[in-house]
Chain A
Amino acid sequence: MQIQDLPYPDPGVPDARSGPRFLWWLFRNQRGGQLKALAWGLLHFLSVSALPFCVGVAVQAVVDRSGAQLALAGGLLILCCIGNALGDTFLHRTAVTNWITAAARVQQVLARKASQLGSALTRRVAAGEVVAVSTGDVEKIGWFVEAWSRFTAAAVTLVVVCVGLVVYQPALGVIVAVGLPVLALAVLPLLPPATRRADLQREKAGRATELASDTVAGLRVLRGIGGEELFLDRYRRASQEVRHAAVRSARMWALISAIQVLLPGLLLIAVVWYGVHLARQGRVTVGELVTVYSSIMILTYPLRHFEEIAMAYSFSRPSARRAARVLSLERATDTTGTRDGSEPPGGDLYDPATGLLAPAGRLTAVVCGDPDAAGRLAERLGGHPSEEGAASVLLGGVPLDELPLDSARTAVLVQDKDPVLLSGTLRELLDVPRSGDVGAEEALAAAQCADVLAALVQGSLDADDPMDARITERGRSLSGGQRQRLALARSLITNPEVLVLDEPTSAVDSHTEARIAEGVRDLRAGRTTVVFTSSPLLLDRADRVVLIHDGEVAAVGVHRELVRSEPRYRVVVTRETDDEAALSRGFSELHEKELQEIEESA
């Protein structure tokens, strides 16, 4: 796989049974790349390891006063130079390609998993885990996958060089062959505590960043009411804690560095001492002694890969485990459905659990004292709810839960209380799968978005057309009311057979809300619409108002009539003045109980 061919047309099905299996799956899928990296790595490390031999030849040449031999050393150096440059460059290219392709593959399977899980994901703790895998774990997994070929090449090189030295100069070579493994393994026991300290430091740094961004996020509150010093002090303390943790971590790494100097140094001294004795006896030449010395200096380079692979593995193991866990998540319910969904159903929407009926082609408003119950009911109206239990909602007599998920969502669009604006241009935001001919302009007008469009143009860098203006993540640059209206416009554009809106205008001022009520009513004329609301401005424009109480339909009618005849309705939709409240207190025990419930739920 070349980088320019990414993303994968099909990233495949990951083996998510466990962390190591997941790593193995990634590795298996890029075996070719790994072999290439290994081959280039061998060329690189062997060329580097041959340099000391050249040094030895050159030194011996001048000891022997031989110009020809010196020239030979020069020739060998050129060969090493070419091998080293080619090997290093292509090792880097192939290894980084392995890293990138592995990372891209993991990101791709994550994206697929996330969109497959959809609403099931937000309910779970796992939502944070998916993001954690994508932001941090992918890099660690990629690191291990990439480092593997480099490590293998380095390890093979070490064996080859040790064997070579034993053959080249047995007496000294044996010392090196025994000493090198000790060097390779010596610092490994120190790595876990060092890694733990580094983790602690990262954790504290994360905490400090969180405090800082939290302080900034609430800065308007702080500047408005005071307490800056309190928060600055707190941040200073956190920041100093990070510093102390970092220095503590550095102490460990400093110790490791010292050991990495000390141990090869001791090996060098042993070689020099023994080597000079041998040279005096004429058993080794001066050139050979220099070669062995220089080899030890150079071999510390491939030796570092032992540490790296140990660290990469200790970092990537928990990451791979988490990735496997996330990728093995499944939706709780069957989404394929038992009925054929090619012919979309139509007709009245009926919920057998509450008795709620939304006649086809009409605007039905639902009033429900308990906002959480309203949210659950709204979700169930779309079919395939995240919590199973109640019998399926019927659309034209067809149980929505038995349709394929996609068909159910096509037929009924449920806009929940907190619809999310996805970042991108306004055009991209409004470009949703639609089943009708409602244009963006119409929908934006119905949702009273004129001032939102103006604000978007004003806040953008270069857009004159509001459709090109960018909306930031979750529409954070807009006010709550503006966000709600854009979300409503998006739902109107979709123009589904049935549109269910849960408190679509709770953050919109009354003037605008009244206009939206008109707009939605006109635009949805002839289509089935259900609005959960307690606003008289919306209720007044509904064809049919249903009061849900204690999970059942308690009253049906129109707003003006219900306001007069139904005290339980009145208490939810109009705010009564104290006098009125005192009056209505006499109405019934039930009423009083409900008032209390409302207060509790608030």
Chain B
Amino acid sequence: MTGLRYVYAVCRPFGTPLQAELTGIGGAPPALLHHHGLVAVVSTVPEADFSEEALKAHLEDLDWLSAAARAHEGVVDALTTVTTPLPLRLATVFRDDSAVRTMIEAREDHFRSLLDRLHDRVEWGVKVYLEAGPAESADTAQAPAPARPASGRDYLRRRRESSHAQEEKWQRAERFAHGLHERLAERAEEFRLHPAQNPALSGTRGQNVLNAAYLVSRKHSEEFVELVDRTKDEAAGIRVELTGPWAAYSFTGEAKS
């Protein structure tokens, strides 16, 4: 079976060796391919899994996608402990080392300018959720008898009140998220707003109001994390989640903010 070259990231040369036990996609150990003063971090993947047809089928298989995404992130995360990697998108594959070298030659200026921009910076993810209020579940679960409307008119009035209350909660959550984002964006060099996460896919409680990524220097990260931590108890019924530090996945395009 022939193998293809999977590329995880491009970095500047770094002195520290990769952890010996580190594995990438399919359990293969990643290797460093030096070329033109840059390093591509690569591993061999079976062509049977990464041909166009096979990959298309795999990407619709949540278990395969999940394993591949975790393996990709595992290698990139290991790189963040020794350097500032420029992560490539999932499933970037080349025929052989020579094709990887050609790609580096074609893009070396672009890689260098991105690596300069991201040097010593990490990405933090901040999500804000509107929690399902305990009041609503208590109403239906614990007090079914008094909740029963006396008349049709009564029923309609309650429905209006309930949807009005829900609307107010949304507005409050959005105001909170907006205020938090403004404060965080001030401390970050750049930010990206990702689309709100689908609760069916995330499996988390509550409605996602803010799903943002912030590019922060390592030096200022402690301060940034503390700022997020402090907001966690600011508003009832709203949950703030922090993820990271990530390699700067969300900041590999053109600078916007």
Q: Do A and B assemble together? A: no
